[in-house]
Structure 1
Amino acid sequence: MTPSPLPVLRLKPKTKPQAIRRGYPWVYANEVVTDRRTRAMSPGTIALLEDADRSPLALVGVNPNSKIIGRVLDGPDAAHPDQAWFAARLRKALSLRERLFPTPFYRLVHAEADGLPGVIIDRFGDIAVVQPNAAWADALLADLAAALAEVTGVTTILKNAGGRGRALEGLDDVDAVLLGAAPSAPVPVEMNGATYMADLMGGQKTGLFFDQRPNHAFASGLAQDARVLDVFSHVGGFGLAALAGGAVSAQCVDGSEAALDLAEQGAARMGAADKLTTTKGDAFEVLTALGEETATFDLVVCDPPAFAPSHKAREAGLRAYERVARLAAPLVAEDGYLVLCSCSHAADLSAFTGACLRGIGRAGRRAQLIHTGQAGPDHPLLPQLAESGYLKALFFRL
């Protein structure tokens, strides 16, 4: 057998390789032999992962500066990733999205679940926004961008460097235009009958949250003739979907003036500007003030940022979710609906549901759980990686 020309990352004798063989995509730093040669690998190095007996396991991207020292890319006999390798992965990802969606507005690549660990790609028609949140992908970004243009035909590719994962990998936070020219205005995106304005250069994440699409649709189905409150609204995700579903009014609450301005632009494009109001402020303070006013709504949605982005933050995050539920529940009219969301992978569905029910109970309300939502199918789960199923949306009737 010809020795591999690649450097080697080797598991410790007590580290069992079964998880990797069964599809687990991460290798942790405390699971490998971190000798001088391992520590000398530059972030982004492509290496051969071996078990303790020197049997090849996988091709991995290495970052000695990360707790996740290795990310599984391919089988042990695969060639070093190049443009053709990326193109093959992207064609698989594209074939799924083209079957699912009639227009090219979706998450094209959902990291590990699409075979590109740490890589997020959202598509906005002829524009793609890439988040290379792992060192191996950042090092091979030119090949990735070339393959992306080849496979999809997009004419503009933007690098978004604002992901939390990049900081954990020790990567820069510098955005860039990799192909074409940056859009000079927000991009309109139509989903579920609503129009959203996505700021691809200065907005949160890649500019829009495609993951909530099916949950927006379910909420829209509850919104006929409803008065709606959308808290942590970003660019009007649930509020605009509710207006598309026949709501008589929607109030969007967010801490970002820019996001609320985009919500207003979206409502205007829908011909619903007169039905939308916006409130800039701290969500907890606004919820408290509305409670003191004894305001009520037929549909209340709270879709906060990740309160539990890590295991260390889990308990504090669950308390925050409980507080949201406690403050929001009194605002829901009798037989109205309360939607509570979490994008925290560290708080699983059971724990998040428990926190929400505690908050609703502390508010003196009784609840029926009528629907549990997750991310749309353009955000597939890798079954071996629980973290890929991060989004939860609970629909209660109070």
Structure 2
Amino acid sequence: MKAERSYPRAVVTAKAENAVLQGHPWIYDAEITALTGQPENGGLVDAVSRKGRYLGTGLYSKESKIRLRLVSRNANDVFDDAFWERKLRWAWEYRKAVLREEDLTCCRVIFGEADGFPGLTVDRFGPLLSAQVLSVGMETRKHTILPMLADILRRDGQRIDGIYERSDVKLREKEGLEQVKGWLPLPGETPPASAVTEITENGVKYLVDVENGQKTGFFLDQKFNRQAVARLARGRTVLDCFTHTGSFALNAALGGAAHVTAVDVSESAVEMARANAARNGLSDRVDCVCANVFDLLPELEGQPARYDFIILDPPAFTKSRATVANAITGYKEINYRAMKLLPRGGYLATCSCSYFATEEKFTAMLRSAARDAGVQLRQIEARQQAPDHPILWGVEETNYLKFYLFQVI
């Protein structure tokens, strides 16, 4: 029997209707032509077409340009605790299906819109969950949803000691939210004494500081791309640019690289990479250097060839459409320099984690860099983010990571 709807209703434009029917969960403020009822900030609102067709139910944000984020397209859904628990269980069961058992101890458990939790990210680092809340709808429900998630994992035999919230990002201001950072209380429990924990990914051990590390503490989306690099690194001399915590460098070393030089402009990142190399007994084969990659690559051109495998894993050079052109210029510079440095038969791993630097733009840049460097690229693999960061068709924002392995010939 169809449940009675008692939520405010938002009538949306034909453009919004078409986007929703193709799977996108966002409805912008300018796409709402009429609003009946008194929606609460973070509350539930039904979206309907101009002809009154039910399109879905979403979380309302009175200050964001993304005014409504859909969480259901089923008119019979009842949005009680059982609804959210069911969605959390689906997300966890999906991870269990697509990851190896050993990968479940460090993985992304909730990936926002791709899991039906718009504005919520939850990463697992061993016994700690690291959560980031970016929408007012999730903000109003976090004290229900996050403890519920911990309970689901525990009932499945997983050790969860605490949840640390990393909502210390400026993006929250667009939702009218203050930045927040700290332990999220779990009923009847005392938070852990430390927000630092150890994880093992691909056989490599890392210390992860969920309180002070970038974003939620560690980048999990390159897990299987690091494995691909490790397979190719055996016996090679590797230059890992933008190393951050040393993850690609350590995977290459563990994969049998003859030697690895890991470079980052941040001294603290270099120190962390150095400590991770020592933790894994790889200090004799991994040198960690503090340098600006944009300066280092041209300097190396004048020296005898030292590397036959170069890895380029830069931070996002653009976070908006307005700066895409500058970002592509930056990507081309480092890729051109790497191609010039590599001997014929050498290998290149290159990627972009910016959604706005689309695959079309990124591959066009690579073709241009290869032409200018006077080399030809033989593609080994084209890869994306790990499957615990699922790409939801119809939601192009979930498809952000481009990763290529080439041989330079």
The TM-score with structure 2 as length reference comes to 0.90
Separation (CA, whole Å) in 2 of partners of 1:199 and 1:2? 45
- Code of the residue aligned with 1:50 in structure 2: it is V
- 2:334 alignment partner, SS class: helix
User: Match for 2:93 among 70, 92, 95?
Assistant: 95
**Counterpart for residue 235 of structure 1:** 245
**Counterpart for residue 82 of structure 2:** 84
CA deviation after TM superposition for structure 1 residue 167, in Å: 4.3
Does the alignment pair 1:118 with 2:124? no
In the superposition, relative to structure 1, how do residues 247 and 9 fare at CA in structure 2: closer, same or farther (>3 Å)? same
- 1:333 alignment partner, SS class: coil
**Counterpart for residue 342 of structure 1:** 352
In the superposition, relative to structure 1, how do residues 247 and 23 fare at CA in structure 2: closer, same or farther (>3 Å)? same
In the superposition, relative to structure 1, how do residues 34 and 294 fare at CA in structure 2: closer, same or farther (>3 Å)? farther
**Counterpart for residue 177 of structure 1:** 183
Separation (CA, whole Å) in 2 of partners of 1:333 and 1:170? 53
Separation (CA, whole Å) in 2 of partners of 1:184 and 1:289? 42
**Counterpart for residue 128 of structure 2:** 127
**Counterpart for residue 217 of structure 1:** 227
Residues 56 and 76, structure 1, Cα contact 8 Å, conserved in 2? yes
Separation (CA, whole Å) in 2 of partners of 1:355 and 1:101? 35
CA deviation after TM superposition for structure 1 residue 376, in Å: 1.0
Separation (CA, whole Å) in 2 of partners of 1:109 and 1:361? 41
- Tell me the C-alpha RMSD between the 2 structures: 2.2
- Code of the residue aligned with 1:267 in structure 2: it is A
**Structure 1: 4+ residue segments shifted above 6 A:** none
Residues 111 and 118, structure 1, Cα contact 8 Å, conserved in 2? yes
**Bigger mean CA deviation after superposition, 138-147 or 358-367:** 358-367
Separation (CA, whole Å) in 2 of partners of 1:86 and 1:258? 39
- Code of the residue aligned with 2:135 in structure 1: it is A
Residues 182 and 211, structure 2, Cα contact 8 Å, conserved in 1? no
**Counterpart for residue 8 of structure 1:** 9
In the superposition, relative to structure 1, how do residues 126 and 231 fare at CA in structure 2: closer, same or farther (>3 Å)? same
* Alignment coverage as a number of residue pairs: 394
Residues 170 and 179, structure 2, Cα contact 8 Å, conserved in 1? no
- Code of the residue aligned with 1:142 in structure 2: it is H
- 1:59 alignment partner, SS class: strand
In the superposition, relative to structure 1, how do residues 237 and 15 fare at CA in structure 2: closer, same or farther (>3 Å)? same
**Counterpart for residue 65 of structure 1:** 63
In the superposition, relative to structure 1, how do residues 129 and 185 fare at CA in structure 2: closer, same or farther (>3 Å)? closer
Residues 252 and 276, structure 1, Cα contact 8 Å, conserved in 2? yes
Separation (CA, whole Å) in 2 of partners of 1:276 and 1:83? 49
- Code of the residue aligned with 1:25 in structure 2: it is P
CA deviation after TM superposition for structure 1 residue 86, in Å: 2.2
CA deviation after TM superposition for structure 1 residue 354, in Å: 1.2
- Code of the residue aligned with 1:275 in structure 2: it is R
**Bigger mean CA deviation after superposition, 359-368 or 182-191:** 182-191
In the superposition, relative to structure 1, how do residues 83 and 234 fare at CA in structure 2: closer, same or farther (>3 Å)? farther
Residues 157 and 178, structure 1, Cα contact 8 Å, conserved in 2? yes
- 1:335 alignment partner, SS class: coil
CA deviation after TM superposition for structure 1 residue 378, in Å: 0.8
**Counterpart for residue 109 of structure 2:** 108
Deviation track 1:24-76 (CA, whole Å, cap 9, x = no partner) reads 211122211266x78x8554222111222333321101113222111110123
CA deviation after TM superposition for structure 1 residue 98, in Å: 2.2
Instruction: Provide structure 2 residue ranges, at least 5 long, that are not aligned to the other structure.
Output: 155-159
- Code of the residue aligned with 2:59 in structure 1: it is G
In the superposition, relative to structure 1, how do residues 119 and 243 fare at CA in structure 2: closer, same or farther (>3 Å)? same
**Bigger mean CA deviation after superposition, 219-228 or 261-270:** 261-270
Instruction: Provide structure 1 residue ranges, at least 5 long, that are not aligned to the other structure.
Output: none
